[in-house]
Structure 1
Amino acid sequence: MKTGTTERTAPADRQAAALTVEDLSVHYGGVCAVRSIGFTVAPGQSVGIIGANGAGKTSTLKALMGLVPRSGGRIRFGDTDLTRVKARDIVRHGIGYVPEGRHVFPGLTVEKNLMLGAYARSWRGPGTRETLEEVYDLFPVLGEMRSRLAGALSGGQQQMLAVGRALMAKPRLMLLDEPSMGLSPKLIEDILAVLVRLREEGLSMLLVEQNAKLTFEATSSCVVMENGEVAMTGTSRELRDDVQVRRIYLGL
């Protein structure tokens, strides 16, 4: 599969909207995890957030989704001020979230897990069933295992399920936190192929990932974080070839 960085125009059902983050800060007690950061994800763009462990990457995603308190800043998605939106309602504004660690429902079937991702839509509507078939087309193994309990799936299959569940809401923007964690090299390549396909279909993405190769191939630009701050920004190609980034921030 091609992994070029050309972004395509988003389809009509993914109406263009930019994510704009301004002066975002997150504190845990007296500890500052994220300090006044800012960046933008343009419509149809794929952006990576990279950096060492503890740089504030996951805290940033959780703050965007309202899962941790924000101590400052503003988040806008299109015309919506997300800083005023409760976490449970953010998905209704067109943002999907794939959390670190998958967090599927092990006692439910694959298909019921996927349908839970469509809770903000009509479960019985024809559009939801069409989206379900689209997910099965993207991840054929999920279609084959639709009646199997999610807890019986392998780690890689659960990761596919977590991505598919987020796609069921038909998001305009996907936030993904460490989708390659704990996966074999073959499964990482499979996840990369899916992310590239979604990018080429015009879905905006914000990706937090320790795997530098996956990040640089799946995104068109990157934000480098260090100690809760934005240390560098640039295109994925520029940062991939930057000696300082490879040595200091990625340990390569």
Structure 2
Amino acid sequence: MPDRFTESARQVSVLALQEARRLNHTAIGTEHLLLGLIGEGGAAASVLTSFGMSLPNCRAHVQKINGRGTLPVPGHLPFTPGAKRALAYAVRESLTLHHLHVDTGHLLLGVLAESDGVALDVLAASGVFPTDLRDRAFAALAGIELPPGQRQARLFLSYRRPQDLHLAGRIADRLDDIGRSVVRDVAECDVLLAVVSPDWTPTDLMRAEVERAAERAVPVIPVLVDGAELPLDQLPGPDHVTVRHETFRADVGRLADVVRYAQPGIG
């Protein structure tokens, strides 16, 4: 990297290379730079973690989006065209701000400026808006302390296994498509969505998941599917969302809007 880059910024590149090799990828993309920024642990990492982003979760998103190569890739790994543009944008951001060096904060701005990069897909999967992240990165570079960043709620789907597995999978896929973060562990969620089908009766596992959410003061929102009635004796009410087969995409979109943000400090 050019001499203009700080040692911390250079370390991001080293970590990005390691992340690409970890997944047997053939080139270093903006998604690997994003992982490197989190892993470096400096100013940019503080911005990213303030939105609830973590290295394990972002690694999982990258693997889900790009997959894992079957064999290690020997030799030199080049930067993708998008990653090269992100690095160039980082230099431009530094010059625009009249800074002498390119640090991790400038790299983060460069990654956010690359509209075709996979890093933006990772942000969407994490429930983070690039514009919010950019504002906070600018503030950090300017030495302005802002309140904790608001992020979208992490959602957990509780459902009967195996009866409603397909139904819950459709809901989760649709939420993922529109950039809502669905987690696999109730201990990580900000909102629990209880999927209730027309012939629903709660299983022991669902009861345990709802009880775990209640212990953490996590809101539980029943999702009533295809005319199912709200079981007030089994789940909290009266707040709920209705999803029907005929209007499935729009209904899940409305569900995503209802649970978009969690209160800071939940859980």
The TM tier, using the shorter chain, reads under 0.3
* Greater strand fraction, Structure 1 or Structure 2: 1
TM-score normalised by length of structure 1: 0.25
TM-score normalised by length of structure 2: 0.24
* Greater helix fraction, Structure 1 or Structure 2: 2
